Amino acid sequence: MDNNESTESTASTAAHPATIAPASTTTTTTVPFDNNTPVESGRTKIDISSEIAAYINSKGVKVTRTGETVQAKIGWVQGCMRETYDFTVSPMGEGIQQNEGFDSLEDKRNEELDKTQKRSGAKIAALATNFKQTADALGGRVQAALAFAKFKMFLNNEEKWELQELKEDQEDEMEF
């Protein structure tokens, strides 16, 4: 029975030799960015088909294959993030079996977006505060200018009233 079981397992292995990769062929190759600086960061291994690896490579992400492992370095133009991902190629093309790398990538992208939004929010808040202070200062000046104009009008009116009264007094005196 044991011989039959081992024969069956050998036969199934022989029928699908591409599904089992020898441990010796799984290696990792460092792929530097354009500036040839290797990225030292957390690595996430995910299984990916060779077609998807080729697609990633076609999108400008540097991907190399050594044995059954593909490594890609994914970075942003502004240089704020550089991540290294090891993609294990599935010769049968099953595609992505685990997506921790992409989740991690999305989390990091969201984290950077949050930081950017917070920085932008702080800038907008500072501008709004500055604008409010400027508006308050200008408003104060406008209020002061209006108050002064009203006071001047009041004085002019008072002068007019006084002049009117003087004129009336003079007319009254002339009548007598």
Domain containing residue 59: 19-98
| The token pair that represents 165 in the structure block | 């009264």
Q: What is the pLDDT of residues 152-162, one digit of tens each?
A: 777 777 777 77
Q: How confident is the model at residue 96, as a pLDDT?
A: 40
Percentages helix, strand, coil for the chain (3-state, rounded to 5) are 60, 15, 25
- The reported pTM is 0.22
Q: How confident is the model at residue 4, as a pLDDT?
A: 45
Q: What is the pLDDT of residues 48-73, one digit of tens each?
A: 555 565 666 565 555 555 444 444 44
Is 81 a member of any domain? yes
Is 41 a member of any domain? yes
Is 10 a member of any domain? no
Is 49 a member of any domain? yes
Is 2 a member of any domain? no
Is 151 a member of any domain? no
Is 88 a member of any domain? yes
Q: How confident is the model at residue 41, as a pLDDT?
A: 43
**34 exposed, middle or buried (CB, 10 Å; 0-12, 13-18, 19+)?**
exposed
Q: How confident is the model at residue 5, as a pLDDT?
A: 44
Is 37 a member of any domain? yes
Q: Name the stretches of the chain with pLDDT < 70.
A: 1-109, 113, 117, 120-147, 176
Answer whether 59's CB lies under 8 Å from 71's CB: no
Q: How confident is the model at residue 111, as a pLDDT?
A: 74
Number of domains the chain is built from:
1
